[in-house]
Structure formats: structure tokens, C-alpha cells
Amino acid sequence: MGAFPPISFAPRNVKLKRAVDFSKASRLYFHAAIYKCYDDFNRTNGTVVTLQNGTQMNMAKAIILAIFCDHPAAIKCCLCGSACPQCFTSKRDFATPPVGGTMLMRTPGNVAVKKQVSALMYGLMCVLIYVWMYVLIYVIKYVLMCVLMNS
């Protein structure tokens, strides 16, 4: 198991070549350090580990079963290309997408559409509120004028 903290740069420096290179170099360094732990352990005769329930278990080898992280980062971390970043199954061995209507796949395309729709809805709400306030002020002005004229 291994994890490393994100390296944050000032927003205006994020795209600088030095920053990108540093990020890549540090990621490689951290990966090598994590892998070295596995490699070092697997060169020994293993060890006896006490599990949470108190059971003693002989661990002869340590293997990486899966890497879990967010989608774009997962591909960068495991260098799997188009294969699955969790189980390394190659793309040609993927199952077919679920039959229509059973499950909505998240793709960059439909996520972008969803974001666009919510931005449009926000714009529409602003316009509606503006129009509503304008009408409300007009009505209040009219009512006040009628009340003041009659008194």
C-alpha cells in the first residue's frame, strides 16, 4: 500500500515546463519508492503479520492487486495506457457497454453536457429573478399609487 501527497503550485505556475517536469519526476520517484518496498520485502523470506482479529498469518510475498485513484490520475500513475487502470485488463478484453437504459455510463461528453445544462439553468434563473423583481417593483409602485390617490 502506498500513497503520496499532491504537489501544489501557484495557479499561474501550474503549466510551466519546470513545474510539469517536477511533478512527473516526483511521481516517478514516489512510485519507485513504493515499488522498492515491495521488492525489498519479496527478497526476504516473508514475515508473520498479526491481523486485526489477532490471527497470525505468514505473509510470504507482497503483490499489488490494484491501484485505486481518480480517473485521469490513475492512468498517469499506473502507465496502463488504454487498459483498465485498476485491473490492467486490455481494452479489447473489456465487456460490452451495458444495454441501453440499464446504466448511464459517465463519459467526458455527457459530463460536459450536464455542466453546460446547469450553467444554462443558472443563467435562466438569473434572468427570471431579474424579470420577477422588475414586475414586483412595478406592481408595488402601482398599488402604492392607487392607495395614495384614494386616501
Residues of this chain that bind Zn ion (CB under 5 A): 84, 86-87, 89
- By C-beta, is 57 or 63 nearer to Zn ion? 63
**Helix, strand, coil percent content, the chain, rounded in steps of 5:** 55, 5, 40
Which one-letter amino acid corresponds to residue 83? A
- By C-beta, is 105 or 149 nearer to Zn ion? 105
| Residue 106 to residue 111: CA distance in whole angstroms | 7
- By C-beta, is 14 or 87 nearer to Zn ion? 87
Decide: residue 82, CB within 10 A, 0-12 exposed, 13-18 middle, 19+ buried: exposed
Identify the sign of the CA torsion 106, 107, 112, 117: negative
- By C-beta, is 22 or 88 nearer to Zn ion? 88
